[in-house]
Structure 1
Amino acid sequence: MQRHGRLPAELTSFIGREAELRSVAELLKVSRLVTVTGPGGVGKTRLALRAAAAAAADHPDGAHLAEVGPVQDPLLLGHAVLEALRLTDHTARPPQDVLVEQLADRRLLLVLDGCEHLVDACAELVDELLRAVPGLSVLATSRQSLRVDGEHLVPLAPLPAEPAFPGAEAEAVTLFADRAAAVVPGWRLSAANRAEVALLCRRLDGIPLAVELAAGRLRALSVEQIAARLDDRFRVLTGGSRSAPPRHHTLRTTIGWSHELCTMQERLLWARLSVFAGGFDLDAAEYVCAGDGLEADEVLELLDSLVDKSVLLRIGDPGGVRFRMLDTLREYGGQWLRAGGEDHRLLCRHRDWYLGVATWGEVEWFGPRQAETAERTRLAHANLRAALEFCLAEPGEEQLALVLAGTLWFYWVGSGHLGEGRHWLDRALALAPEPTEARAKALWVTGYMATLQGDLTRARPALEECRRQALVTGDDRALAYAVHRQGCAALIGDDPQRAAELFEEALWHYNTIGELNSNVLMAMFELGVAYLFLGDTDNGDAWIERVREICEEHGEQWAYAYGLYAMAYSKWATGEVRLARAFARECVRLNHLFRDLLGIVLAMDVLALLETEGPDTDLVEARVLQGAAHRLWQAVGTPFFGSRTFGGPHRECEQRARAGLTDQEFTEAFRLGSGLDLDAAVRRALGGELSGPPGGEGRSGPRPPVRPFPVPAR
């Protein structure tokens, strides 16, 4: 987690709200929970982000934004917050427990934005975190209060449509003028238009979203024409709940009026885009939304028009331009989609696109584009969740839920989302008990992830069911994977002889069916590790060398990173400390690229042991690295999977450090290490420097002889 925080940059000027900003700032100094409340479109998010940016300096670990809006399942709220904080967790524990543990010694401000649709879940999570994490403050936005003890409310009214004093400009008028000048070059507030603008802003009740939408219409209409058309819309669109505040009707009317001013094609695309959760790109929009009156080659121009009309936000990412729709506008578009009877068809197309994203990601995971695949899948995460939710809620879609959740194994495992992956797979398996190919895959993926978490009581039955089903149905691929993952369970169950037998059998099956991918490479690596644990370094090194050769040929780095762990272990066992350290550091660096905590922590424990070897022994640094590894294990699962064999380097290092340090040095060094966050721990393991983003080149410390696939010098 980055200490400077993660808040999006402001793309437009911030108008007014000085009093509200002061109020939030003052409350954050005396309260750990401040909730900005108000109707949709009133500017809660914008105010909260500006206030959080100003308050970030008072929080050593920064201010971080967690967007609740795209999350529909309350059970995924904790996972979404973990993701927003860039905290990776592989365990089967509830995400709120992980948050409590990983934030325990942090002092940060969490902006929880858009809580209204999950208000109960948000309230429960916030209450638990605030009670358990004394350094945490929360700034929430919601259309209603969370009703948590200690909560202070800042009700946000619309911008004043009347001047504060004679001669001043009303804030709503200033906002309109600012946005109008942005869309119509040369437009300015003048004596000729000021009265009409002021009247228009009063008619809009000063609601910022309404004002901005109205300003966007100046491309085609004058202020007078906008006011006239708005009057027409008020007369037509005056329905809604009698208990809702009047300004809710006004906002709905304004959005409806903006909708009416769109062309038929723009309205159609607006409605169809409502199936997306979070961001999406042009390719996704063209696939999901084209057809039945909307040609694919029209989508780009229409997207541009909707951006111009403030219906869509344009997001510039390193990987290309993406788009996003505000939740209020998305909800409105969804109503039109349902009214037109297109919702089911569009949701199916959305599901198909993101099933394709997952399938292509699984294919590209074996090759040189693994890092790009991980990032592309991360950007699609909210939509993948939406597609999974649709499959699980729609009768007849259960098999596709199994397919989608199982296909995403590479993301759940390789990018630190084991807990969430098991959440989806458990739900899908419960809904689809019949023995199908999709269920077989879901079973071995579940067993694999449970094994990585050290949860053998869940892993072994799932893998055995997969094996039995594969034998009955003749599913040779599922049989290979089931046997392979049973070998993993045996390996962490401290039975390397049985593990080696199962890995050999699995590799025979893989070879028979012509399977070659990252999973097959992991079977080779794991077989090499089993031989190393048995003391057979010749066979162990031979299999690890085979992994290296295939990885180098195909540009694979994720499985290769685990091969580096085995290389480091082997070189330590034969007394080649320099190479062992180089391999272990490269293992840490590559796994940090994927944010794979398991790979990082395994190598970090080896690095700790290596600090006790050779002429440059540093027992204090060894204990610091052990402390850092201990903290990471809490986010992975049972330390060393509960395996005495995997835990051997740790125990050896601990014994040496205890023998050579005073009790105070031993304890203080461990405490220092356990206080490091992920990036700081990785920086320490790499020798003091970590340049660039996660996964960037670490330039300090000895390097293996060959890049990017180092092998021992011959």
Structure 2
Amino acid sequence: MTQREDAVTQWTWARPGARNESTGFIGRAAELEAVRTALTQARVVTLTGLGGVGKSRVAVRAAHQMAVDFPDGVSIAELSGLRDPEFLPHTVATAVGLPEIASKESMDQLIDHFADKQALLVLDTCEHLVDAMAVFVDILLSHTPGLAFLLTSRQPVALPGECVLPIPPMPSPEADADEHSNDALALFAARAKAALPSFELNADNRSEAIALCRRLDGIPLAIELAAVRLRTMPLEQILGRLDDRFRILAGVRTAQARHHTLRTTIEWSHDLCSAPERELWARLSVFAGGFTLAAAEEVGAGNELAGLDVLDLLGALVDKSVVQRADGVATEYRYRMLDTIREYGAEQLEHSGRTKEYAHRHQEFFLRIARQAGEEWMGDQQVAWGDRLAADFDNFRVAMDFAIAHPGGEAALRLVNGLWGLWLGKSRLTEARRWIDKALAAAPEPTLEQGIALFYGSYYGLLQADREAGEMVRRCRAVAESLDDDFLRARALYVETYEMLMWSRDIASTLASYEKSRRLLRESGDQFPLAASYINTTVFHAAHGDPSTALREVETCMRDLAHLPHERWARNYLTIARVLALWADGKPAESRELGRRVLPSALAQGETMSLAATVEFLSWVACGEQEHEHAATLLGGAAALWRQVGTALWGVRALQRLHTETESTLMLGLGAERFTQAYSHGGRLAVAKLVEFACGNDHASGSCPSSAADEGSPLGPLTPREREVAGLIVEGLTNRQIAERLYISKRTADTHVEHILTKLGVTSRIQIAAAIGPRTPADT
């Protein structure tokens, strides 16, 4: 591999949404070459074929091999868990690694991101979204001339110019074939060895293995299922059972027959199960993304299956490879079913007329989990709850979908409210706000649950500096007053006060309102907004040059949390605020040491927002210590993290001002070119590498080369801030509007525009727009 190929591959596959192969890839050379050829001739290539034929495996391997052919990268979005087409753009944007921006639709983000890129987007498992997918891809095709698409689907998307490549089963082996000459036989040998380490394909069993692969028509999933049976019966017996089941299909070679072959293979596994095992298989199909034993017992038990039976039945399904044991959290195993197996179970449940019954039981189970998590989040089990909620995130989505589709109660509101720790802890603010909007629409009557949802929705919106969140703040207040509820009044006052902190210039009134809010929150025992209020004011005082008061705020809140020694979320953010306060207090060494202690735990918990803030503040420390290149690299890394969250320094004006001052100091110290190189390099670092670099390992980031992408680009001579301003000019903003958007003075905006005109060699704003073309996130 060349140095360039190695660099591209490392960068590409560190991206969110990309995945590597969990088992060895075997064969498919012709199909891989066909994909490569097709992508040189068409922008949309769809791999079609029956379930289990290996479409996804071919697509992932082709994407790996072709990464070097797409200089701006390859991204994969896996869509099997997506049920609601409305979330298609958001899901793809998340997989690509785009930020959550409250004021911008995901479709617009994707268009902006890919507008001038030569990239490949793999959309895996599209058949259940085919209508929405056709519209989605068509829009992107019209606006992103350098973007190519590789889709996997059981049916074509039916787009003009779509190249459809059927993925056939593996060729059936001839009588004299061996594992070196036939892919199907090689696959069986490899999977059989994995299932039964003592198995060896040899002269004694080769003929039976060849017959098995031929009877299964070379379908990879069927071969893999059969190979696993070696744990419980010899190859000859497996072959005999297949002969009994497949006799009716002998000699039929149509595509539909191959579909029946796979179904027959699954039906064969179904027939091997006892009646109670089959029943549990069907009931477990309501889960998405996996489940625990406790979930299986709660949802799957009932009627003819007693709770105690589920443990033994689940074990039997694992032994028969219907259910797979996956990695768990802590000491609890998790289980999952392959999509094809789960879909077969769902068909059986639908045929029994009990899908709604078990979907409702699924919803009720995860509603109880969400409620318990919401109540216990500010406690000693916070980390464990975070892991558990994240592991079951697909199940919560399915439960919320069901609740919204079956209105009449408050289940959807209770679910989305109970998950507040997940939304905050994993920085999923944009998705949280969308679910809240859906849940509010499904339950429009003013209730306490509605008021709590309005509280969280407004809080998440304020964290993203979205001025439209103010409307939800006022609705929260209105519900609190209509219900005459002191608990909700206290929460409403808190978000009102937080809104004042964001936008009001009346500092005295804002701080007085915080004190009143805290009194009410203490009276109601509402620990989360109380701690959040201290985080807010600590940052506020530190950013406004009063570090002593900021540090006192930290100590006060820490005393309030003394009875919760293992609580992590509030302590983490209070510590980050203390990093800022120590820096503002002229104690850079203490600030840096504390910040570096925060980063590893934040990385482990996936807390993107706390990572962004800590890296940002450490860049300010480094700037003050004259470590300009180190600081610029951190500043670029922080900017990339902020974009993922959909906010920047929570929109706090004073922090934005300090950011701008740091940026200006670094540009003066390094010069525009060196600053841009370091800043851009930091933005491209994988998060783990960025954390390692921020913690003092300067070698972790590698070298800081000039950006090849800038060469020949009209944006090349511009600094990151100037690129941001240029993009806003393209959007049609005036200098005053740019100043308001970026929290800078109009004079500073004027200066940026003058520099842009000079560097681009143009004399008007219209010429700026013409020179740089459409704006993309990479340009900012």
Q: How high is the TM-score relative to the length of structure 2?
A: 0.77
- Equivalences for residues 492-641 of structure 1 within 5 A: 492-495=502-505, 496-516=507-527, 518-532=528-542, 537-551=547-561, 553-613=564-624, 616-637=625-646, 639-641=648-650
- Cα deviation, 1:454-509, whole Å, max 9, x if unaligned, reads 1122x212122212211221322222111111111111114443332232222111
Match of 2:245 among 218, 230, 234: 230
**8 Å Cα contact 1:568-1:584 kept in structure 2:** yes
**Corresponding residue for residue 715 of structure 2:** none
Q: Does 1:489 align with 2:499?
A: yes
The unaligned stretches of length 5 or more in structure 1 are 692-714
Shift in alpha-carbon separation, 1:26–1:371, aligned structure 2, 3 A = farther
Rounded Cα–Cα distance in structure 2 between residues aligned with 1:184 and 1:612: 59
Q: Does 1:477 align with 2:492?
A: no
Paired residue type of 1:432: A
Shift in alpha-carbon separation, 1:643–1:494, aligned structure 2, 3 A = farther
- Equivalences for residues 111-260 of structure 1 within 5 A: 111-125=122-136, 139-147=150-158, 152-163=163-174, 171-172=183-184, 175-176=187-188, 179=191, 201-216=213-228, 219=232, 222-223=237-238, 225-231=240-246, 245-260=256-271
- Equivalences for residues 254-333 of structure 1 within 5 A: 254-317=265-328, 319=330, 320-333=332-345
Q: Does 1:361 align with 2:373?
A: yes
Rounded Cα–Cα distance in structure 2 between residues aligned with 1:655 and 1:60: 31
**8 Å Cα contact 1:487-1:498 kept in structure 2:** no
TM-aligned CA deviation for residue 207 of structure 1: 2.4
- Cα deviation, 1:588-618, whole Å, max 9, x if unaligned, reads 55544443343333343433333342xx313
TM-aligned CA deviation for residue 406 of structure 1: 1.6
Percent same amino acid at aligned positions? 38
Rounded Cα–Cα distance in structure 2 between residues aligned with 1:509 and 1:216: 62
**Corresponding residue for residue 445 of structure 1:** 456
Q: Does 1:77 align with 2:88?
A: yes
The unaligned stretches of length 5 or more in structure 2 are 1-9, 701-780
Rounded Cα–Cα distance in structure 2 between residues aligned with 1:215 and 1:200: 10
Q: Does 1:89 align with 2:121?
A: no
What SS does structure 2 have at the residue aligned with 1:259? helix
Rounded Cα–Cα distance in structure 1 between residues aligned with 2:124 and 2:367: 28
Shift in alpha-carbon separation, 1:637–1:180, aligned structure 2, 3 A = closer
TM-aligned CA deviation for residue 7 of structure 1: 2.7
**8 Å Cα contact 1:429-1:439 kept in structure 2:** yes
Shift in alpha-carbon separation, 1:512–1:207, aligned structure 2, 3 A = same
**8 Å Cα contact 1:35-1:154 kept in structure 2:** yes
- Cα deviation, 1:620-678, whole Å, max 9, x if unaligned, reads 44444333333333333354454422312113223433544544445444444444454
What SS does structure 2 have at the residue aligned with 1:35? strand
TM-aligned CA deviation for residue 192 of structure 1: 7.8
**Corresponding residue for residue 699 of structure 1:** none
Rounded Cα–Cα distance in structure 2 between residues aligned with 1:664 and 1:166: 62
**Corresponding residue for residue 46 of structure 2:** 35
Paired residue type of 1:544: V
Range that drifts further, 424-433 or 178-187: 178-187
Shift in alpha-carbon separation, 1:576–1:30, aligned structure 2, 3 A = farther
Alignment RMSD (CA, Å): 3.8
**8 Å Cα contact 1:406-1:441 kept in structure 2:** yes
Range that drifts further, 262-271 or 412-421: 412-421
TM-aligned CA deviation for residue 565 of structure 1: 3.3
Corresponding residue pairs, total: 680
Match of 2:658 among 641, 649, 653: 649
Paired residue type of 2:618: L
Rounded Cα–Cα distance in structure 1 between residues aligned with 2:553 and 2:178: 82
Paired residue type of 1:308: D
**8 Å Cα contact 2:481-2:489 kept in structure 1:** yes
Q: Does 1:7 align with 2:16?
A: no
What SS does structure 1 have at the residue aligned with 2:553? helix
Rounded Cα–Cα distance in structure 2 between residues aligned with 1:667 and 1:580: 26
- Cα deviation, 1:96-153, whole Å, max 9, x if unaligned, reads 4445667889987654321111134445555666787788765432112345677554
TM-aligned CA deviation for residue 63 of structure 1: 6.5
Match of 1:390 among 402, 408, 412: 402
TM-aligned CA deviation for residue 263 of structure 1: 0.6
TM-aligned CA deviation for residue 305 of structure 1: 2.4
**8 Å Cα contact 1:92-1:419 kept in structure 2:** no
- Cα deviation, 1:352-405, whole Å, max 9, x if unaligned, reads 2222332333244323543333232221111111000000001324x1101111
Match of 2:474 among 464, 470, 486: 464
**Corresponding residue for residue 347 of structure 1:** 359
Match of 1:337 among 338, 344, 349: 349
Paired residue type of 2:550: G
Shift in alpha-carbon separation, 1:234–1:283, aligned structure 2, 3 A = farther
What SS does structure 2 have at the residue aligned with 1:647? helix
TM-aligned CA deviation for residue 44 of structure 1: 1.6
What SS does structure 2 have at the residue aligned with 1:316? strand
**8 Å Cα contact 1:288-1:350 kept in structure 2:** yes
Paired residue type of 1:475: D
What SS does structure 2 have at the residue aligned with 1:66? strand
What SS does structure 2 have at the residue aligned with 1:582? helix
- Cα deviation, 1:60-97, whole Å, max 9, x if unaligned, reads 89866532111111122344345556666363533344
Rounded Cα–Cα distance in structure 2 between residues aligned with 1:366 and 1:161: 59
Shift in alpha-carbon separation, 1:538–1:344, aligned structure 2, 3 A = same
TM-aligned CA deviation for residue 223 of structure 1: 4.1
Rounded Cα–Cα distance in structure 1 between residues aligned with 2:360 and 2:377: 25
Rounded Cα–Cα distance in structure 1 between residues aligned with 2:158 and 2:357: 39
Rounded Cα–Cα distance in structure 1 between residues aligned with 2:480 and 2:641: 36
Match of 1:376 among 362, 373, 388: 388
What SS does structure 2 have at the residue aligned with 1:141? strand
- Cα deviation, 1:304-345, whole Å, max 9, x if unaligned, reads 322333322332346453222122222221121122232222
**Corresponding residue for residue 732 of structure 2:** none
Shift in alpha-carbon separation, 1:330–1:485, aligned structure 2, 3 A = same
**8 Å Cα contact 1:605-1:649 kept in structure 2:** no
Q: How high is the TM-score relative to the length of structure 1?
A: 0.84
TM-aligned CA deviation for residue 209 of structure 1: 2.5
TM-aligned CA deviation for residue 554 of structure 1: 2.1
Q: Does 1:687 align with 2:696?
A: yes
Rounded Cα–Cα distance in structure 1 between residues aligned with 2:105 and 2:115: 16
Shift in alpha-carbon separation, 1:620–1:190, aligned structure 2, 3 A = closer
Shift in alpha-carbon separation, 1:63–1:364, aligned structure 2, 3 A = farther
Paired residue type of 2:241: I
**8 Å Cα contact 2:178-2:185 kept in structure 1:** no
Q: Does 1:18 align with 2:18?
A: no
Paired residue type of 1:578: A
Shift in alpha-carbon separation, 1:635–1:91, aligned structure 2, 3 A = farther
**8 Å Cα contact 2:537-2:553 kept in structure 1:** yes
Shift in alpha-carbon separation, 1:360–1:234, aligned structure 2, 3 A = farther
Paired residue type of 1:448: Y
Range that drifts further, 36-45 or 168-177: 168-177
**Corresponding residue for residue 708 of structure 1:** none
